Amino acid sequence: MKEDNKKEVKDNDVVEIKVGKLLGLSKLRQNPWILSTILLVIVLIFITTTGFTLGSGSVNSEKAAENLVNFINAQGNGEAKYISSKKDKGFYEITVEYQGTEIPVLTTLDGNYLVTDVVPINGENVEEVSGQQEIPNEKVEVTAGDSPSDGSENAQVTIIEFSDYECPFCGRFYSETLPQLKEKYIETGKVKLIFKDFPLSFHPSAQKAAEAARCARAQRGDTGYWKMHDKLFENQASLSIENYKKWAKEIGLNQGVFDACIDSDRYADDVKRDLTYGESLGITGTPGFFINGISVSGAQPFSVFEQIIEQDLSE
């Protein structure tokens, strides 16, 4: 890769994060976007599960801190401990200890929302930010193994995706970016897509959904796998074992064989091995990709994939 290659960074540069894994000060200092992304995910969960509205009145900083600590601890990824709080520029800055690290977090004054970033809108103290960032020069060696694939075996470019069937950002990649990749690159034999499982711990249906896709593959190979893969992403709001069995019948699988497979946890360990392997490669959230070894994180737009792919095709 040439050092001057760039990729666009847009609003949908979002990755679903394993919160307990990333709340570390050293990583936050090296990658300032991590905390904002973590908080964005938490905010989305908070909005969905509570229905709170902004402007519902103020609470004292202790109450806001209590809300924050209770919410973090409810995620089951480790306990947070309240350290201190203060009011700052219309927000509460609450410091919590998490996994041995003290982390400052902003909340709204009503104590209902975390704030991912404070951006001045009066034109003061605003740094000019480029819309481009360099594509990493370093490539990671990633082994496909026996994972399901789509595309020509002789494709010049291989994309290895680590994904979670319950992750909304993975669903966004499936619905928005993947169709364009298929049309321009996969169906034309230029790119091969390989799928690996990375079920996040706070998605209760992700593990069994991954097993369901593998049970489909056991009967119909990669063709059956991708059919179940599509069913799962197209029905993210209704993931359940009952529905996996229903969809198995709809895509033409032997119902009894599939039911026995999903009920027996036959592929549970295989799914977990994918997760462990992804973590060893530095994957911390979903979706995560390696394009001929180049790491790409988040539900990136098609243009980001296109740029890296075209660079590799031209070499």
User: What's the whole-number mean pLDDT along residues 159-171?
Assistant: 95
Residue 268 — very low, low, confident or very high, per pLDDT cuts 50/70/90? very high
What is the rounded distance in angstroms from the CA atom of residue 312 to the CA atom of residue 5?
11
Q: In this structure, are 19 and 102 located in the same domain? A: yes
Q: Give how far Cα 163 sits from Cα of 101, 193, 297, Å.
A: 29, 12, 11
What pTM did the predictor assign? 0.63
What is the count of structural domains for the chain?
Answer: 2
What is the rounded distance in angstroms from the CA atom of residue 1 to the CA atom of residue 138?
8
| Residue pLDDT, tens place only, 38-58 | 544 544 454 444 444 444 457
Residue 101: the pLDDT is 63
* Tokens 């197209």 -> residue: 234
Residues in Cβ contact with 246 at an 8 Å cutoff, skipping those fewer than 6 apart: none
The conformation of residue 238, written as its DSSP 8-state character, comes to: G
Residue-number span of the structural domain to which 66 is assigned: 12-115
Residue 79: the pLDDT is 76
Q: In this structure, are 285 and 240 located in the same domain? A: yes
Residue 137: the pLDDT is 62
Provide the CATH number for the domain around residue 55.
3.10.450.520
Residue 179 — very low, low, confident or very high, per pLDDT cuts 50/70/90? very high
Within a domain: residue 168? yes
Q: In this structure, are 190 and 103 located in the same domain? A: no
- The number of beta carbons lying within 10 Å of the beta carbon of residue 2 is 9
Within a domain: residue 122? no
